[in-house]
Amino acid sequence: MSLTNEQLAELLALEAEKHEGNKEKAARRASRKAFGWPREVADMVEQGESLKTLPAVGPWVSKLMQDWLDDPPEVTEPDRLRADFMSLASAKHTLATEWDLRDELRGDLQMHSTYSDGRVSVKEMALEGIALGHEYIAITDHSKGLKIAGGMSEEVLSEQRREIDALNDELEQGNATFRVLRALEMNISPDGTGDMEPKSLEELDLVLGSFHSKLRIKEDQTDRYISNLRNPHVHVVGHPRCRIYNFRIGLWAEWDRVFEEAKELDKAVEINSFPDRQDLNVELLEIAAEIGCRVSIGTDAHNPAEMHFIEIGCAAAVRAGIQPDRIINLMPYEELLGWTASLKTRV
């Protein structure tokens, strides 16, 4: 049995603890990046390919991994900070052997542009969405409360909305069916309130409500989630746990109550596909699957290349057994807009 990328990531994380300075940094970084490598390192080595083509792999990390593959050490269960993360390589395997949800998915419902902390324009993200075969993407830049990520004011949000309208018109005139959803990742304070004028949210197609502060609290945060869900402008709870691989464990709640509330309100919880987030993770998604609340899959991409990580979110939904009619990204564009519109009339 050769080592998987997930096992190599754990060995790298433990290796980092033995060093200081550059080696510590290199091993930690490679451990995190390993979840986004598209192929199993063991297969690459077997085929005589260089590992240095992989992100975050230099000569030292490459040698470490080769040595481990030659003589596999015992790999222990990961620390809680690193538990229940899957590699992109294993996600691809799940999609190829169980259900190719990626192939049926119609769009990616979380990403950022230069309107907040993304690297490229709305149009460049849209072009990548088209290249990936999506029917739509949602541009979910940050709202004004998140200053560190260049959050948008109401004025900037409406400027972006006009740019998206013009882009959709251009696509329609070119007979393209692809559409960009006017969306937002709204910053939600610990008491569940948003940071934008309600009026500026009314013309949006989709609003994610996410927490970005007080993320290391250890007490039960069920009420915080319920307030977020009950916020009349929120359709999807973004990266619910707020965990980060090998850095932050994330928040804790009585998840069954959170998912019951989402189901009751017909709202969705996100599967954030970013390799070092994977939030919700499979274990919690199994509870969501049982309760039957809606889920939304997004990459949280900050550049076009990161949009490929959608496979991780898709594989998480497949592994957890989320039913197709619960995955909002399987809805055609018009139906998706109909769903968010129906939520507006419920409140």
- Comparison of 57 and 208: residue with beta carbon closer to Zn ion: 208
Query: Does 187 engage in binding with Zn ion (CB under 5 A)?
Result: no
Q: Which stretch binds Zn ion (CB under 5 A): 114-122, 173-181, 203-211, 259-267?
A: 203-211
Neighbouring C-alpha atoms within 13 Å toward the C-beta of 347: 15
Closest to 107 measured CA to CA, from 85, 88, 126, 86 = 126
Q: How far is the CB of 201 from Zn ion (least distance, A)?
A: 17
Query: Does 210 engage in binding with Zn ion (CB under 5 A)?
Result: yes
- Comparison of 37 and 225: residue with beta carbon closer to Zn ion: 225
Q: Which stretch binds Zn ion (CB under 5 A): 40-48, 210-218, 260-268, 291-299?
A: 210-218
Q: For residues 341 and 202, what is the distance between their CA atoms, to the nearest angstrom?
A: 10
Q: How far is the CB of 297 from Zn ion (least distance, A)?
A: 15
Q: Which two tokens stand for residue 48?
A: 């005589």
Q: How far is the CB of 155 from Zn ion (least distance, A)?
A: 21
Point out the residue whose Cβ comes nearest to Zn ion.
Answer: 210
Q: For residues 55 and 217, what is the distance between their CA atoms, to the nearest angstrom?
A: 33
Neighbouring C-alpha atoms within 13 Å toward the C-beta of 328: 29
Q: Which two tokens stand for residue 143?
A: 């709202």
Quote the DSSP letter at residue 202.
T
Q: How far is the CB of 152 from Zn ion (least distance, A)?
A: 13
Q: How far is the CB of 44 from Zn ion (least distance, A)?
A: 33
- Comparison of 90 and 210: residue with beta carbon closer to Zn ion: 210
- Comparison of 5 and 221: residue with beta carbon closer to Zn ion: 221
Q: Which stretch binds Zn ion (CB under 5 A): 17-25, 117-125, 206-214, 327-335?
A: 206-214
Burial 154-168 (b: 16+ CB within 10 A, else e): eebbeebbebbeebb
- Comparison of 210 and 278: residue with beta carbon closer to Zn ion: 210
Q: How far is the CB of 241 from Zn ion (least distance, A)?
A: 12
Q: How far is the CB of 263 from Zn ion (least distance, A)?
A: 23
Q: Which stretch binds Zn ion (CB under 5 A): 2-10, 23-31, 204-212, 320-328?
A: 204-212
Write the Ramachandran bin of 244: left for phi over 0, alpha for psi from -120 to 50, otherwise beta: beta
- Comparison of 11 and 111: residue with beta carbon closer to Zn ion: 111
Q: Which stretch binds Zn ion (CB under 5 A): 114-122, 129-137, 153-161, 207-215?
A: 207-215
Q: How far is the CB of 212 from Zn ion (least distance, A)?
A: 6
Neighbouring C-alpha atoms within 13 Å toward the C-beta of 237: 32
Quote the DSSP letter at residue 98.
T
Report the chain's terminal Cα–Cα distance, integer Å. 55
Residues 41 to 100 in contact with Zn ion, rule: CB under 5 A: none
- Comparison of 226 and 237: residue with beta carbon closer to Zn ion: 237
300 by Cβ neighbours in 10 Å (0-12 / 13-18 / 19+) ranks as buried
- Comparison of 210 and 329: residue with beta carbon closer to Zn ion: 210
Q: For residues 161 and 188, what is the distance between their CA atoms, to the nearest angstrom?
A: 21
Closest to 30 measured CA to CA, from 63, 53, 56 = 56
Please tell me the count of residues contacting Zn ion according to CB under 5 A.
1
Q: For residues 160 and 179, what is the distance between their CA atoms, to the nearest angstrom?
A: 15
Helix (H, G, I), strand (E, B) or coil at 143: strand
**Chain residues that interact with Zn ion, rule: CB under 5 A:** 210
